[in-house]
Structure formats: C-alpha cells, structure tokens
Amino acid sequence: MCGIVGMVSSNQFSTLDVIAALKRLEYRGYDSVGIATSDGWVSKDVGEIDKFMDILEDRSANLAISHTRWATHGRVTKENAHPHASNDGSIIVVHNGIIENFEQMRAALRSKGYSFISQTDTEIIANYLEDKLRSGMGMQKAIRSFMKDAEGTFAILIIIKGEDTLYAAKRDSPLVLGILGDGFVLASDIYAFSDKTSKSIFFDDNEYAVITPRSYTFYVDSKEIEKQITEVQWTGISEKDEKYEHYMIKEIHEQPVAARRLIESMDTTQRSKMDLLARLCRQCKRVLFVAAGTSYHASLAGVYMFNSIGIEAHTLIASEFQNFMLVNEDALVIAISQSGETMDVVKAIKYAKDKGSKIVSIVNVPYSTVQRLSEVSVEILAGQEICVASTKTYTNQVLILICLANLLGFRTDIKSIPEMIGSTIESSEEKVMELSRSMSDTRDIYVIGRGISYPLSREVALKLKEISYIHAEGMMGGELKHGTIALIEEGTIVFSFIPNTDYEMLSNTQEVAARGAHVIMISDNPEFEPTFLLPPSVPGSFSVTATIIGQLFAYYIAKEKGLPIDKPRNLAKSVTVK
C-alpha cells in the first residue's frame, strides 16, 4: 500500500502541488503523510492529507518526493512517517512495499555505527545508500547493490541532498513516470498526474531510473534500456458531487448507470475480448479464479454460474492460491481485481504464469499491473471508485461474469439488470435508513445465503465489517446448524437472502427465527413476505440486487454511528503488500 509521488522540473513548483498530486493516491493509505525537497527540508505528520495541508509550508522546489502511508512496520507515529533520511541527512527516501530482510540489513548497518529513529523497514534503505556512497560507490552502483541485497517488494524514490537528480527503483510494487512539458512526475499510479499529462512510462520489475529535469534513463543492472511511452486514455475520473455526503453513497447510486455502460460495452467495444475469453474458457480443462476481498466474492458467483453450465471452475483467495490450488498448463486463470494492484493477486498470477497457465483478468483500473500481466483483460468500466469499500465495482464484476457465462451457455436477460438495480435502490433506501437507526449498537450480524445467494452473503458481511464496524459472518444457510446456530439468541440480527423458490433457504431462516433471531429477509418472492421485496429476478441478477440492500445497510448504520465511511480505520483501497 502507500502512495508515492516525486516531481522534478526545470521550473520551480510548490510543495502544495506535490501534495495535491499525492492526495489523488490517498486511497492507498492515510495513516501519515510527508514530503522532502532536494535541499534536505523534510515535513511530515500523522493523519490525513487534508489535515497536513493546513500546516504545510508553501515552498518552492525543483525536486521533491512525498508519501502517504499505510503502516506496515512500526506504529502510526511521526517518526515512522516517510520520507526517511539517512544518518547524515544526505539521502532521503520514500518507499512503498516491504523489505523482508530489513532486520538483517539493519543489524549489519548498526554494526557499522548507523542508528535508527524509526521502526520502519524504509529507514534502512536511506542508511544503506549513505553507507555505499561513503565507501566511494556512485549512486547507480549503490542502487544496484541494494536491489541485489534487499528481499521483498519496493517502489522507491531517492534524493541526494543538494542535487537535482531523482532516482527511482521498482520490484513488484507499482511505479510509473509521467512526462511533463518541463520535467517529470513519478507516482504509484497514473491517477496522481491525470490532470498533468497522459504520457506515461511504466516501470517493470527490477528496473531503476535516473531522472533529471530534462532527461530520464532506465536501467536493468548496469544496462541502459529503451522504454515505451504509453499515451494513457483517461476514463471515468470521479469528482466529488455535493449531492452526496460520501463517495460510498454516490457510488452506490452510480450502479445503474455503470452497469448499463458495461453491458453496452460487452456488445460493442469489449465484444471481441469477451469472445476470446469465452473461447479460452472452452479450451481449458478448468477455470481458476483468483481474487481478494470483494473481488473474491464476485468470483464465487462466477464459480456458481460456470459450474451450473458444465464449465469446471474454482476460486481461491489470492494469498492462499499457491498453497491450495493445483495450477498448471491445463488451467485458465482469471484474476479479478478492482485496483489491478493487489499484491496477493499479482503474486498469484506470476506464480500461475510460471506454471504454464494462461492469465486473463477483469480489472477496473486501466494500465494496472494485473491488466498488463494478462493476455486479455476485460475492463470493469465502473469509473473511478474512491470509497475504500467496493460497491459499484462488485456489481460490474458480477455482470461481466454473467455475460461470460451467457456466452458459454447460461441463459439470462442481462440487459434487464440495470433497471432492477435502479428500482432496488429506489424502493429500499428509505426503509434501510429507518431500520439502520436502531442498529447502531448491534455487535453481531449473521448473513446467510445458499447457492447464488451465498457469495453475496459473504460480500454483505464484509461491507458490515469494514464500514459499520459490526462483527458479521457471511455463511452458507445450510451450515449454520452445524455449530454457529449456538450463537443465535433472542434478538440476534440475521440477514437472510432467499432467491425465488429456495425453500431450503426458507427453512434455514425459520430455524434461526425459531430461536429468537430478528430476521431481515431479502427475497424476490412475495410469497415469503420478505422485509425487502426485490424486483423479480432473472438468473444471476439476485447476486447484484440483493447485495445492494447490504451495501445500503452498511452505509446507513455507519452514518448513524458517525464513522469515517469513505476511509475506514486500518484499511486502504489498494493493498499492495503481501
């Protein structure tokens, strides 16, 4: 996680400009923020960027580096905030990633007399480079030596105090260079400079670059390499809309439009990619989805649909993919990711590629690492999602899977779904708001589903956890009686998702109601007299419409509790560490 931005220019710019660019990466982490300029000036603090901007000195510079942190090593303190300087202040560094062998590296530096004021892995980078430079090495050689000695992941920006050259290096963590008229900007992703330039160069693993106000040179080891300039097409940049208090509710309301845009693209601009994906699904022996969090829940819906039409499909949480999945050349691996930068997913697909699998993906952020590692990548086209919790991207992920399943023999009227999404929001929002008022003290919620409604029960539970800070469990309705039902007491809230004529799910619901549970039933079957009656489903649509009720509950309960909805504690939108 963490976002980094560096700027180098032949004209002076303000430190405020750098932090404004960094603000666009705040979804990567918001524990602390900091900036350094090439004259050695460093300013940093804990908390969010807006708060930092109130105290930030408006200084002019030709070279600066900055960082927004999601803490990995060391607590959220000013000392642990980046940038980190070396002992004599000559080297200043910002870093995204994790140096896994930092303890050994730190011990080696300590034995040479270096001291450390933070608990971070990053501080060793600055001191390591200072040490090499003191020994007479040039900076490029020192960077190469670091890349050889360091284990783990990194995107690093380095300045030498008093010089006008910016150094950058990358392994696994994302890094991109933007070409400006009078200089360059380096960032964790292209959104940081979407208002400045569309000319980008993506770093590949184990590359480093030397950037001056007028030139850039990329290297692998000591060899200079040619890099391709990508002309980025900007789509779906999201701006604040005063009508909505939070991005989350804005993004929930954007779902009908985002769904329509996606469905249309799958018939037009994305048609050939969808056909190729369908062909690859038919040709392989089995489909393996890999994803994390919400994207994993969407993949579970895919497994349900694919298996129902005779296509063998499995899914596994990305961080366990290498441990529990048989991966070989018979498999087609479909990575699903909003950000396209989730490190667990990136690692899993690199592993699968090595094992001979074909890699394809479903990604929201264009030009992201997952997209660039894929043979074919379908775009989620939800537009930029700012709230840390995924809503509209989940819906569009499921819609892509429904469409893909349709091409393989599943039969549904996908075009009717956007309207169902709209009417679900319209008919339920007031009632959700009202019920949420009495749920702010709720400690536990059980969310149950079966078949197509099981994946969404997991997704709704995740939303309740991350946004409303309520312990929630998304479970298979049939599994409840095998243990968890012991926790159901008088008044325990159970969300029950019952699609069409699922009488087994109805029985599971009655089992908890008989033990005093307060059931909130969501169904498209009026016969069941649900708390929320959804529009009549078509195959697959329940995965989307029913989830929206859960999204709304998570939002309104959190609002009732006064929680930081768009930036919940301890989270970041893009999880770029293992």
Q: Which residues are catalytic?
A: 2, 573
Stretch that binds ligand AGP, among 182-190, 335-343, 401-409, 516-524 (CB under 6 A): 335-343
Which amino acid appears at position 85 of this protein?
Answer: A
Closest CB 202 distance from ligand AGP, rounded Å = 18
| Binding-site size, ligand AGP (CB under 6 A) | 14
Options 9, 15, 337, 541; binder of ligand AGP; rule CB under 6 A: 337
Residue nearest ligand AGP, Cβ-based: 293
Stretch that binds ligand AGP, among 338-346, 415-423, 450-458, 535-543 (CB under 6 A): 338-346
Closest CB 138 distance from ligand AGP, rounded Å = 39
Using CA atoms, how far apart are residues 557 and 466, in angstroms rounded to an integer? 12
For the record, the structure tokens of 231 come out as 């002309």
Largest CA distance in the chain: 81
For ligand AGP, the closer of residues 200 and 339 by Cβ is 339
Give every CB contact of residue 527 below 8 A, 6+ residues apart in sequence: none
For ligand AGP, the closer of residues 157 and 365 by Cβ is 365
Closest CB 250 distance from ligand AGP, rounded Å = 15
Binding status of residue 294 toward ligand AGP by CB under 6 A: yes
Closest CB 294 distance from ligand AGP, rounded Å = 3
For ligand AGP, the closer of residues 122 and 342 by Cβ is 342
Binding status of residue 342 toward ligand AGP by CB under 6 A: yes
For ligand AGP, the closer of residues 362 and 448 by Cβ is 362
DSSP 3-state of 107:
helix
| Strand ranges, E, within 161-195 | 166-171, 176-179, 183-187
Which residue, chain included where needed, has tokens 């009686």?
Answer: 481
For ligand AGP, the closer of residues 25 and 93 by Cβ is 25
The DSSP element (H or E) to which 499 belongs, if any, is none
Binding status of residue 293 toward ligand AGP by CB under 6 A: yes
> What is the bridge-based pairing of β-strands 199-202 and 152-160?
unpaired
Question: Which of these, 501, 263, 248, lies nearest to 389 by C-alpha position?
Answer: 248
Binding status of residue 292 toward ligand AGP by CB under 6 A: yes
Using CA atoms, how far apart are residues 120 and 30, in angstroms rounded to an integer? 16
Q: Residue 328, CB half-sphere, CA atoms under 13 Å: how many?
A: 3
Closest CB 301 distance from ligand AGP, rounded Å = 14
Closest CB 100 distance from ligand AGP, rounded Å = 21
Binding status of residue 389 toward ligand AGP by CB under 6 A: yes
For the record, the structure tokens of 352 come out as 């699968």
For ligand AGP, the closer of residues 200 and 364 by Cβ is 364
Q: What is the CB neighbour count within 10 angstroms for residue 240? A: 10
Binding status of residue 461 toward ligand AGP by CB under 6 A: no
The DSSP element (H or E) to which 278 belongs, if any, is helix 271-283
The single-letter DSSP state of residue 26 is G
For the record, the structure tokens of 390 come out as 């995924």
Residues contributing to the site for ligand AGP (CB under 6 A)? 292-295, 337-339, 342, 345, 388-390, 466, 575
